[in-house]
Amino acid sequence: MTAWLQSAADWLRSPQSLNLETLIDSLNDAVIVIEKHNRLQYANRHWSQLTGHASADCQYQPFTQFIHPEDRVNWQIAFQKFHQACDSQLLWLRILDKEDVVHWCEIRVQPLLPDRPYPLSATLCDITPQIRSDQIKEARYRSLNRLVDRVPAMIYRSRNNIHWTMEFVSDGCRELTGYTPEKMINNAELSYGSLIHDDDQEDVWCNVQKAIQDNRCFEIAYRLRHADGHTRQVYEKGCAIYSDTGSILGIEGVIFALDSVL
C-alpha cells in the first residue's frame, strides 16, 4: 500500500472521519436542508460563498427569498411535485446573492431521510459559466425586443433596490451616461444608483416607491453624473412589473436626457 493510501486509510479510521460537517463543507457545491414550510434548516460553507450570506444568518429564512422572483413559481411547482411523489427533482433556478448578482444553479432535491418527505436535502451547482450569454439575455430580457437599442434614450429593466441594479440596459445608456451596458448590468463595475446626484437620490427612491404603493407609473426629473464628469438633467418614466402572484419582479422604464424631451 502506498504512503498516500495508508494516510487515507488512517484518516478514515480516525475520529475526524466522523465529522460529517467537515466533509460537507469540503464540497464545491452548496448543500442545504429545507424543512416542510420551505425554510432553511442548514447550509454548508459553499452556500455562504455562493450567496454572500453567513450560513447562520440564513437559518429558518424562507428559501424562496434567495430565488429570483421570476423563478419562484417554478420552485413552488417542483416543491409540490416532490411533496406528492417524493421523487428526486432536478431543475435550474437563478439564485440571487447578497449583492443581487444572479447565479444560475442546477438544483437537485431529494429526501434527507428514508420514507419521510421532509426535511429535504438539496445540492446547488453554480452553472453560470456554462450558460451561454445569449441564453442568459433571452431569459433576462425576453420582455424587450430588438428595436430598443434604436431608441435615442436608455431603456432599462432594474431590480427595485437602492442601487437600481440593472438586469437590462439598452445601448442608449452610452450617450446618456457615457458607460457601456456591460459595465452597468448586475453592477459589474458600477450601479446606476451611484450615478444619480447625491442630493436627488432620496427623492428618486421615495417617488418610485410611492408610485409602486399607489400601483401607478412614475415620472421624475433629476440630475445624473455623466462619465465625463458633467451633470445632466434627465427625465425618467417607468413602472413596476409583477409576477402572476403579485410579487414585484422589477422596474421597467425609459430615461431621456431632458434636453431631448423639451
Q: Each residue of 123-177: pLDDT tens digit? A: 999 998 887 666 666 666 555 556 667 778 999 999 999 999 999 999 899 999 9
Q: What is the pLDDT of residue 244?
A: 85
CATH number of 152-257: 3.30.450.20
- Does the structure show a pLDDT above 60 at 260? no
C-alpha cell at 255: 430615461
> Are the C-beta atoms of residues 155 and 90 closer than 8 Å to each other?
no
Provide the residue ranges of all domains of the chain, joining segments of one domain with +: 15-130, 152-257
Q: How does pLDDT run across 12-68, given as a tens digit for each residue?
A: 455 554 577 788 888 889 999 998 888 999 999 999 999 999 988 999 999 999 999
Contacts of 148 (CB under 8 A, 6+ apart): 155, 170, 172
- What's the mean per-residue pLDDT of the chain? 85
Residue with cell 441564453: 135
Name the CATH topology of 15-130: Beta-Lactamase (3.30.450)
**Alpha carbon distance 156, 13 (integer Å):** 58
15-130 and 152-257 have identical folds: yes
| pLDDT interval class at 261 (50, 70, 90) | very low
Q: What is the pLDDT of residue 103?
A: 92
**Alpha carbon distance 75, 161 (integer Å):** 23
Q: What is the pLDDT of residue 116?
A: 77
| pLDDT interval class at 1 (50, 70, 90) | very low
Provide the whole-model pTM.
0.57
What percent of the chain is modeled with pLDDT above 70?
83
